[in-house]
């Protein structure tokens, strides 16, 4: 990890002076955020703190009221569609699988649009991506409505990985999932990060994910952002962060983190 980080001196994704307003409310107040290549960054914050809006701003789906987002050194709104597809993969909260397409067709859609590979080759690649996301190739013919919650997330992840993006954005990847499935997804994220060298940005309020998976965590409080490793954040004086990382729910997650770090 450290070697990979040293090679990329400049961050793969950086946001500068992001301001987002809804009516009179300032959701983001001149945010700066850098994502280093190869890391797993968690974005946390209370409900309504603007996590999803920040994610959409980083992907370029939401134009901020002021400020800019650079991906791979280029402003995100100047990157053309194909390049963007190769840079960014996104997993939306509800999966956002196209309901009229089967899992395999969902995964193959970006390949069909952006490459000229023969169908048989695309199918092979899709099978690998589907297995990479932890689904069996047998579920490829199923339609989104026939999948369970965890399978939807995995299928959506397979689609997000279709073009081997450099940065993977995950919006609440473990919400609505039972703890076992959720920790399966957590493991998968780490595996993809290590194996594919993919940079991962996770928006979540799942403490276990934040503490056991993320290299660094960015906490959104009152429109400002505080970034650091969990250990550093744990010493923060901000009342919300203190409560968040020392509350009753955090204790179990902290234990999980210790054990998982022991294994690593």
Of 135-154, which residues contact other proteins (CB under 8 A)? 136-141, 144-145
Of 176-195, which residues contact other proteins (CB under 8 A)? 191, 194-195
In terms of CB distance, is 5 or 26 closer to other proteins? 5
Is 93 a binder of other proteins (CB under 8 A)?
no
**Cα 165 from Cα 210, distance rounded (Å):** 22
Q: Contacts with other proteins: how many residues (CB under 8 A)?
A: 44
Answer yes or no: are the C-beta atoms of 155 and 135 closer than 8 Å. Answer: yes
- Backbone phi and psi for residue 238, each to the nearest 5 degrees, phi listed first: -65, 130
Answer yes or no: are the C-beta atoms of 156 and 91 closer than 8 Å. Answer: yes
Identify the residue among 196, 221, 227, 234 touching other proteins (CB under 8 A).
196
Identify the residue among 24, 47, 81, 100 touching other proteins (CB under 8 A).
100
**Cα 19 from Cα 16, distance rounded (Å):** 9
Alpha-carbon distance values, 200 to 43, 120, 136, 190, 230 (Å): 11, 30, 23, 9, 16
- Region binding other proteins by CB under 8 A among candidate stretches 22-30, 196-204, 230-238, 253-261: 196-204
Identify the residue among 31, 130, 157, 210 touching other proteins (CB under 8 A).
130
Answer yes or no: are the C-beta atoms of 46 and 52 closer than 8 Å. Answer: no
Write down the least CB distance from residue 237 to other proteins, Å. Answer: 38
Q: Cβ contacts of residue 211 below 8 Å, gap of 6+? A: 230, 250, 253, 254, 256, 257
Residues in contact with other proteins by the rule CB under 8 A? 4, 7, 38, 72-73, 83, 99-100, 102, 104, 111, 115-118, 121, 123-132, 136-141, 144-145, 161, 163-164, 166, 191, 194-198
């Amino acid at each position: 990890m450290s070697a990979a980080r040293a090679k990329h001196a400049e961050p793969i994704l950086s946001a500068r002076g992001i301001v987002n307003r809804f009516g009179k409310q300032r959701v983001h107040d001149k945010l700066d955020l850098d994502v280093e290549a190869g890391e797993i960054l968690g974005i946390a914050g209370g409900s309504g703190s603007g996590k999803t809006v920040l994610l959409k701003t980083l992907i370029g789906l939401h134009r901020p009221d002021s400020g800019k987002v650079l991906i791979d050194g280029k402003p995100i709104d100047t990157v053309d569609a194909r390049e963007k597809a190769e840079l960014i993969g996104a997993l939306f909260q509800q999966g956002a699988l196209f309901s009229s397409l089967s899992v395999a067709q969902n995964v193959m859609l970006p390949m069909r649009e952006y490459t000229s590979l023969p169908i048989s080759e695309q199918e092979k690649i899709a099978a690998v991506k589907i297995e990479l996301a932890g689904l069996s190739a047998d579920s490829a013919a199923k339609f989104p409505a026939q999948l369970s919650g965890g399978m939807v997330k995995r299928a959506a992840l397979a689609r997000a990985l279709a073009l081997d993006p450099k940065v993977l954005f995950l919006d609440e990847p473990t919400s609505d999932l039972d703890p076992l499935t959720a920790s399966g997804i957590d493991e998968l994220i780490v595996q993809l990060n290590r194996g594919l060298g993919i940079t991962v940005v996770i928006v979540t309020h799942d403490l276990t994910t934040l503490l056991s998976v993320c290299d660094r965590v960015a906490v959104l409080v009152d429109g400002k952002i505080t970034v650091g490793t969990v250990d550093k954040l744990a010493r923060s004086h901000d009342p919300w962060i203190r409560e968040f990382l020392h509350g009753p729910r955090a204790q179990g997650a902290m234990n999980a983190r210790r054990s998982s770090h022991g294994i690593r």
